[in-house]
Amino acid sequence: MASFATLIPLLTITLLSFSCSSQFILPIEKDPLTNLFTTSLNIGTPKHNFNLVIDLGGPILWYDCNKNYNSSTYIPLPCNSNLCSNDAGCISCNGHFKPGCTNNTCGANIINSLVYGIFSGNTGNDVLFISNTKISNILSGCTDSDGFTNNFPLENLPKYSKGILGLARTKLSLPKQLSLSSNKLPNKFALCLPSSKLGRLFIGGVPQKSTFFSKYELTTIPLIINPFSTAPIFTQGEASYEYFIDVKSIKVGGETLNFKSSILSIDNKGNGGTKISTLKNFTVLHSSIYNPLVKAFVKKASDNKIKQVASVAPFEACFDLNTIYRTNTGFAVPTIDLVFDRGMDWKIFGDNSMVLVNKNVACLGFVDGGKEPQTAVVIGGHQLEDNLLEFDLVSSKLVFSSSLLLRDARCSDFKN
Ligand SMILES: *[C@@H]1O[C@H](CO)[C@@H](O)[C@H](O)[C@H]1NC(C)=O
Ligand SMILES: *[C@@H]1O[C@H](CO)[C@@H](O)[C@H](O)[C@H]1NC(C)=O
Ligand SMILES: *[C@@H]1O[C@H](CO)[C@@H](O)[C@H](O)[C@H]1NC(C)=O
């Protein structure tokens, strides 16, 4: 039974293309109540520490500039600046000057995808600090949450989080701005999301000097662009700035699932395809993929004498823990493979596929996205944990490791 989980990916092995400048490394924590991933940054003068939710699909860095916040180094972006290219209007304010209350200021689209909401805010630049390095002239958005009922822009974020660090493919994303600044980092970043304790965000890409990741065989696939925006607000004709990958088929326990594979392609309205999201707890699948996946998983599990028990919402396929063996990559359950061109694949082992719902039961951690989701496969946080993922925007490639447990490590074992 252990054979499922001990397969080591042998296909398409690539070496890391190491970046040559020093990177910025930010800590990542997982919030136990929401399962969201957060980091923290010091912004402004005097320094103010902001806990921010990491959103791979978020277009900007934004934070709460409510009445308790001020910064003497804040400079609003004038409406006529050529950097002010969005459609969020020109903002003015009748109060005393401070971040969030300025005149002739380029509006910011403050997006909180957890409530599919857009809020008004200001664009401005200020200093920020990453591991005590001071970085000037970073453009970000800020919104005064006091101006909304129940601090609506912060809804569904962890209580202590006061904004979102967006990492999408945009001009204003932090990795992109740092790549253009004097640091001349390549426009790349890597995520190692923790299952517990600390993970890391590596701005500039996977660290060059670290031996921690060099023992992994990494797979490189293209990042693809969905020509239709998937954002809550966009200009007609704008492409999506989220990260899509071209999954061609899905296997369970080595067998290809049978479903209409055209939903894995992006159609002429921008629907379908596969994207990666750090705001979803679990991978969300179109029903016509979810149903055969659950069926095949249950069948293969039962072939291996794993006993199915009653469902625990939102999951359907749940199993008696006493009937599941453990391996180095977690529970010994059928491996789920996302298959790309030329036989390349992303193997999802028990540690990433199964969720412990109580002390006796573990469930298949995928959820049903219904019959009409915009995107057919949204790979969520639980499936990304303890995997290294590098988003290389120089060559538009995703480089990934599969489970770090294959070499007996977790993201939290990384030491700077
Ligand atoms: C993620 O899971 C937590 C805990 O199960 C739940 O409270 C939260 O609403 C979920 N969040 C999302 C965005 O689905
Ligand atoms: C915010 O700080 C600036 C610069 O230090 C100061 O001029 C301004 O009056 C302050 N605003 C408020 C509302 O305290
Ligand atoms: C914005 O301009 C108005 C009109 O000139 C002025 O009353 C107000 O104080 C200004 N606001 C700020 C924040 O400077």
For residue range 133-170, what is the model confidence (pLDDT) as tens digits?
A: 999 999 999 999 999 988 899 999 999 999 999 999 99
Percent of the chain whose pLDDT exceeds 90: 85
Contact indicator for 247, 289 with CB cutoff of 8 Å? no
Instruction: Report the candidate in 367, 251, 252 with the shortest Cα–Cα distance to residue 301.
Output: 252
Average pLDDT, integer, range 207-229: 91
Query: Ligand 3 mean position to 118 CA, how many Å?
Result: 25
User: What local confidence, expressed as pLDDT, does residue 45 receive?
Assistant: 97
Query: Ligand 2 mean position to 96 CA, how many Å?
Result: 7
Query: Ligand 3 mean position to 121 CA, how many Å?
Result: 17
Contact indicator for 225, 63 with CB cutoff of 8 Å? no
E runs forming strands in 74-159: 75-76, 90-91, 105-112, 117-130, 133-143
User: What local confidence, expressed as pLDDT, does residue 210 receive?
Assistant: 79
Q: How much is the pTM?
A: 0.92
User: What local confidence, expressed as pLDDT, does residue 306 receive?
Assistant: 98
Atom of ligand 2 nearest to the CA of 70: 1
User: What local confidence, expressed as pLDDT, does residue 20 receive?
Assistant: 42
Confidence of residue 235 (pLDDT cuts 50, 70, 90): confident
- Return the SS3 of 351: helix
Using CA atoms, how far apart are residues 98 and 183, in angstroms rounded to an integer? 29
Contact indicator for 227, 236 with CB cutoff of 8 Å? no
Average pLDDT, integer, range 368-387: 98
Confidence of residue 207 (pLDDT cuts 50, 70, 90): confident
- Return the SS3 of 287: helix
For residue 281 and ligand 1, the question of a CB distance below 6 A is answered with: yes
The protein residue with its alpha carbon nearest to ligand 1, atom 9, reads 34
Atom of ligand 2 nearest to the CA of 95: 13
- Ligand nearest, relative to CA of residue 98: 2
How does pLDDT run across 311-347, given as a tens digit for each residue? 999 999 999 999 999 999 999 999 999 999 999 999 9
- Ligand nearest, relative to CA of residue 91: 3
| Residue 37 pLDDT > 50 | yes
Using CA atoms, how far apart are residues 416 and 409, in angstroms rounded to an integer? 15
Using CA atoms, how far apart are residues 199 and 189, in angstroms rounded to an integer? 14
Using CA atoms, how far apart are residues 63 and 85, in angstroms rounded to an integer? 20
Mean pLDDT of the chain: 92
More confident residue, 386 or 8: 386
Using CA atoms, how far apart are residues 195 and 412, in angstroms rounded to an integer? 8
More confident residue, 7 or 220: 220
Average pLDDT, integer, range 101-113: 96
How does pLDDT run across 241-272, given as a tens digit for each residue? 999 999 999 999 999 999 999 999 999 999 99
Contact indicator for 250, 337 with CB cutoff of 8 Å? yes
For residue 72 and ligand 2, the question of a CB distance below 6 A is answered with: yes
| Residue 16 pLDDT > 70 | no
List the domains of the chain with CATH numbers.
24-184 (2.40.70.10), 210-413 (2.40.70.10)
Exposed / middle / buried, residue 134 (Cβ in 10 Å: 0-12, 13-18, 19+): exposed
* Range 389-408 burial, b when 16+ CB lie within 10 A, else e: bbbbbeeebbbbbbbbbbee
| Residue 374 pLDDT > 70 | yes
User: CA angle, 337 as apex, 30 and 414 as ends, to 5°?
Assistant: 35
For residue 265 and ligand 1, the question of a CB distance below 6 A is answered with: no
- Ligand nearest, relative to CA of residue 97: 3
User: What local confidence, expressed as pLDDT, does residue 22 receive?
Assistant: 63
How does pLDDT run across 40-70, given as a tens digit for each residue? 999 999 999 999 999 999 999 999 999 999 9
Instruction: Report the candidate in 213, 228, 232, 211 with the shortest Cα–Cα distance to residue 111.
Output: 232
| Residue 201 pLDDT > 70 | yes
User: What local confidence, expressed as pLDDT, does residue 15 receive?
Assistant: 36
Structure tokens at 401: 């490791």
| Residue 208 pLDDT > 90 | no
Structure tokens at 141: 């958005």
The alpha-helical segments, DSSP class H, found in 199-308 are 287-303
Using CA atoms, how far apart are residues 82 and 203, in angstroms rounded to an integer? 26
User: What local confidence, expressed as pLDDT, does residue 236 receive?
Assistant: 83
Using CA atoms, how far apart are residues 295 and 304, in angstroms rounded to an integer? 14
User: What local confidence, expressed as pLDDT, does residue 116 receive?
Assistant: 83
Instruction: Report the candidate in 62, 59, 25, 55 with the shortest Cα–Cα distance to residue 37.
Output: 55
For residue 92 and ligand 3, the question of a CB distance below 6 A is answered with: yes
Structure tokens at 121: 């805010």
Residue count of the chain, please give it.
416
For residue 102 and ligand 3, the question of a CB distance below 6 A is answered with: yes
Using CA atoms, how far apart are residues 294 and 310, in angstroms rounded to an integer? 14
User: What local confidence, expressed as pLDDT, does residue 1 receive?
Assistant: 36
Structure tokens at 310: 């009653």
Using CA atoms, how far apart are residues 133 and 325, in angstroms rounded to an integer? 47
How does pLDDT run across 19-36, given as a tens digit for each residue? 344 689 999 999 999 999
Using CA atoms, how far apart are residues 62 and 11, in angstroms rounded to an integer? 40
